[in-house]
Chain A
């Protein structure tokens, strides 16, 4: 009896495996069909994300919720910050409502899987654009909203002023960030021995640093500025940020590969904030802004039904500027508060010597 049962089971197994391998041969057709039938949430076939978002009436935006200036949650659960505002920019541009955003807090490690799986529509989460991420993570990086660079902070009383002073120091760094790679690359290339102490998030790193567990803290300069201000405000020791910036950290919105229509829509809504700044349009004067410049008329959607064939509403820029503001307004709302004024930084407008430069709205 027992043996015959076993035989039946084995036969069934063999059948299933046979079915599997058969299907494997014609995989292309089955999988494409599968992918098509997964609905809005998942990836969607080419060109589908924009339509899916418009249908759903809400954009799911991956953000950081622990980074002062860029993304934080307040006591009432509201998200605010520079990156968070750019999620609102995209929502205002595409859906006409800056509040039609569902914020999705992500850790450094979880961000790319969330993007790949289609769990989020886009991610604006102080994520550095690198070749490896562009290639291996299946991500498309869009217009850089914040030019950052890696810096090093030490307690002022150590008297350390340059990286060479840090020989044999314990250096605190967050796990899963490009910062860690830059640190190793730069210090090793200069022959400075060091010991990295890796933490999962800033809530553990900060007390370790303040209590002397590590002698230096390396991160994006913008983050260090924010924490320097916060530590000194709360009566901690005086901090010193070294002058040297030893990496390029271009931060901006990221979408999944394979949907250029969606990528373009996000790209142009984000760039509209810079273009508006260049034209001198802000939330106070956008109503009835008059100009004979054809590009301004194009941007503000006067006389056209659809913005340059981008599948965006004609008034997308007006909605963005009215509801959220131009780049300068967004920046000044969040970043000077953590100690970095706009003027003279790479994030200034190109006409002022900065790097914020967008293609023309012809």
Chain B
């Protein structure tokens, strides 16, 4: 390759017709235009704010919030605005987290069901998908709020339904909140958490060891049993060694039937929002799962059948692992959408970050800066989700050897 003919001089066209020059110039011009546009917008903003005498800074973050947050009584109205932002982020995270779990589980079931040989199951799954996929999420959220709670079957707080066992309430249901028993820390937990962390590492090592034993010798691995046993052991040892720092917190309604205490309570706004978004997104994920399963080559199923695997084994060990690989990237999009859609929570009075920001703006906090923070929060959420799932995706991607 190195011994070539002497280079021939190519007659180059004039520079205004030279594709190589034009390409570079085109890109430079595009960049310049975009930057000038941004600069123009920014100057407009600054000039307008100057004229109106409005400050363009973030000092308001340290001023007092001055309003209370629904179902978050520990929030002190005199705390600074940035703490309100943190509460909003936490609530958005909770709705997004539970929504994603719900959407994934239901989506998987629906996607597999749509391909079921059972006529009824397949039709039901189709109806589900067509209904939820074709209604805007906001409408579903409001529907849940109205149907489950406003006009729903649940009683008001003072007449709550209580399901109790041995004097302790296992479940309390009313128009306002659904409560289950919670776990409450009574002492310092640092040591306990450290012991538990060691336990998690140990569990992982045991899991790897059992897997290797299985790979090497073909003996049954029982890795789930082993791991759970190890983790439980660490939990018990830690729990006893640190002086039983946890206790059950049972939900109760106070004697005057006015107040709700203890346990872990989901408020109606959270339930409406999470259920609606979970079911809505599940219809999309279901379609992704269905498409991914169909994309796995038919020969794989036939091979599994030839090995006399049961239908469950065929899905669990042959089809789904390959389908997941295809399903993951579009599913990431659905997760991102779900988290962004939590901003609709204001419709059911759920105090997520958008609702709180709007309240804060209405109470005299600067609009522009507040929206900037809001955008940064959602951007952060989306980037973190993308990052995590992209790492997962890389692990799952077929490694070509």
Measuring CB to CB, which residues of chain A are less than 8 angstroms from any residue of chain B? Answer: 1, 5, 8-9, 12-13, 16-17, 20, 23, 27, 30-32, 34-35, 42-43, 108-109, 112-113, 116-117, 130, 132-133, 136-138, 167-170, 175-178, 180-181, 183-185, 188, 193-200, 204, 207-208, 211-213, 256-258
Contact = CB atoms under 8 A, between A and B. Distances in A.
Interface string B131-165: 00000000000100110011100001000000000
B52 A116 contact: yes
Given A12-B31, A198-B70, A213 B176 contact: yes
Interface string B223-257: 00000000000000000000000000000000000
Nearest to A43: B51
Given A178-B363, A180-B363, A212-B175, A257 B346 contact: no
A175 B362 contact: yes
Contacts of A199: 346, 349
B215 interface: no
Contact of A9 (B20, B31, B47, B362): B31
B73 A258 contact: no
B347 A137 contact: no
Nearest to A193: B73
Nearest to A33: B47
Contact of A34 (B43, B366, B368): B43
B31 A204 contact: no
B351 A256 contact: no
B255 to A, nearest CB: 13
5 contacts: A27-B43, A109-B367, A196-B69, A207-B150, A211-B150
A176 B366 contact: no
B176 A12 contact: no
B299 to A, nearest CB: 43
A31 B156 contact: no
A168 B43 contact: no
Given A30-B43, A116-B52, A193-B73, A198 B359 contact: yes
B172 interface: no
Nearest to A207: B150
B367 A196 contact: no
Interface of B: 20, 23-24, 27-28, 31-32, 35-36, 39, 43-44, 46-48, 50-55, 66-71, 73, 77, 142, 145-146, 149-151, 156, 175-176, 258-259, 268-269, 346-349, 351, 355, 358-359, 361-368
Contacts, number: 153
Given A176-B358, A197-B70, A198-B70, A204 B53 contact: no
B31 A133 contact: no
Nearest to A209: B150
Given A181-B363, A213-B268, A31 B46 contact: yes
B355 A43 contact: no
Contacts of B359: 175-176, 180, 198
A26 to B, nearest CB: 12
Contacts of A168: 258-259
Nearest to A17: B35
A138 B52 contact: yes
Contacts of A180: 67, 359, 362-363
Nearest to B360: A176
B358 to A, nearest CB: 5
Contacts of B364: 130, 132-133, 136-137
A204 B347 contact: yes
A38 to B, nearest CB: 8
B35 A108 contact: no
A176 B363 contact: yes
A248 to B, nearest CB: 16
B48 A43 contact: yes
A137 B361 CA distance: 10
Nearest to B146: A207
B24 A113 contact: no
A240 B268 CA distance: 26
Contact of A35 (B47, B149, B151): B47
Given A16-B36, A212-B175, A184 B66 contact: yes
B363 A20 contact: no
A343 to B, nearest CB: 33
A42 B24 CA distance: 38
Contacts of B35: 13, 16-17, 20
A13 B38 CA distance: 13
A8 B31 CA distance: 11
> Top 8 nearest A-B pairs by Cβ distance?
A176-B362, A138-B52, A31-B47, A132-B364, A211-B150, A12-B28, A168-B259, A175-B359
Given A180-B362, A194-B68, A258-B51, 4 more contacts: A9-B28, A43-B48, A200-B347, A200-B358
Contacts of B51: 35, 43, 258
A34 B44 contact: yes
A266 to B, nearest CB: 17
Nearest to A211: B150
Contacts of B363: 132, 176-178, 180-181
Nearest to A35: B47
Nearest to B55: A136
B163 to A, nearest CB: 22
A27 B346 CA distance: 41
